[in-house]
């Protein structure tokens, strides 16, 4: 009986230690800017896919027809060079300023999302990039490019816009 009791005590101690270690690792396991990058935020205009065009059409349905006339379809990929935590079971909600980004995906050096209108980029100008998880706000210390920086983005020839997969390739 004493061997069984000693075994139970050892298992309990190991469970407690494992629980404490997992709490410590979770505290340090948050999204953070990737080291060695000149800019954490990179914006590139891409050639819209059929899915992108359908999303743009859907978004514009609710807008006045006058606004839509002659308005070019622009899709920008916003890449954030971040170290994201490995599967922790936490859902990280991305915000630019106070605006929630509904969906984002991963690429080799961080995450990305698409902006379907230039006015979205302008509305995010200078706003902080942050995450929320379990009622905790995670400040990255990074801001979206300013209006001046956005205005300085090179204008690309629309016949030579890159595809999404080209933009997401590791440099």
Model confidence pLDDT, tens digit, residues 47-61: 999 999 998 888 878
pTM, full prediction = 0.77
**Tokens 């595809």 belong to which residue?**
163
Contact (CB, 8 A) for 45 and 99: no
Q: Where are the domains of the chain?
A: 1-29, 31-168
89 confidence band (pLDDT: 50, 70, 90): confident
Other beta carbons within 10 angstroms of residue 142's beta carbon come to: 16
Tens of pLDDT, residues 8-66: 655 644 555 544 444 333 444 889 999 988 899 999 999 999 999 998 888 878 765 54
Contact (CB, 8 A) for 94 and 104: yes
What confidence score (pLDDT) does residue 70 get? 52
d(CA 4, CA 37): 55
């Amino acid at each position: 009986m004493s061997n069984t009791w000693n075994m139970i005590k050892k298992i309990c101690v190991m469970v407690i230690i494992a629980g404490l270690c997992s709490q410590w690792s979770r505290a340090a396991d948050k999204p953070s800017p990737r080291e060695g990058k000149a800019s954490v935020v990179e914006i590139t205009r891409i050639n819209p896919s059929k899915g992108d065009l359908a999303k743009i059409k859907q978004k514009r349905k609710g807008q006045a027809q006058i606004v839509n006339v002659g308005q070019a379809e622009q899709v920008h990929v916003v890449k954030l060079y971040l170290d994201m935590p490995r599967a922790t079971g936490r859902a990280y909600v991305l915000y630019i300023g106070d605006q929630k980004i509904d969906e984002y995906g991963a690429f080799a050096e961080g995450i990305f999302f698409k902006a379907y209108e230039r006015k979205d980029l302008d509305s995010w100008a200078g706003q902080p990039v942050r995450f929320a998880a379990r009622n905790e706000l995670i400040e990255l210390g990074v801001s979206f490019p300013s209006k001046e920086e956005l205005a300085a983005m090179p204008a690309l020839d629309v016949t030579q816009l890159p595809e999404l997969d080209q933009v997401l390739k590791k440099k």
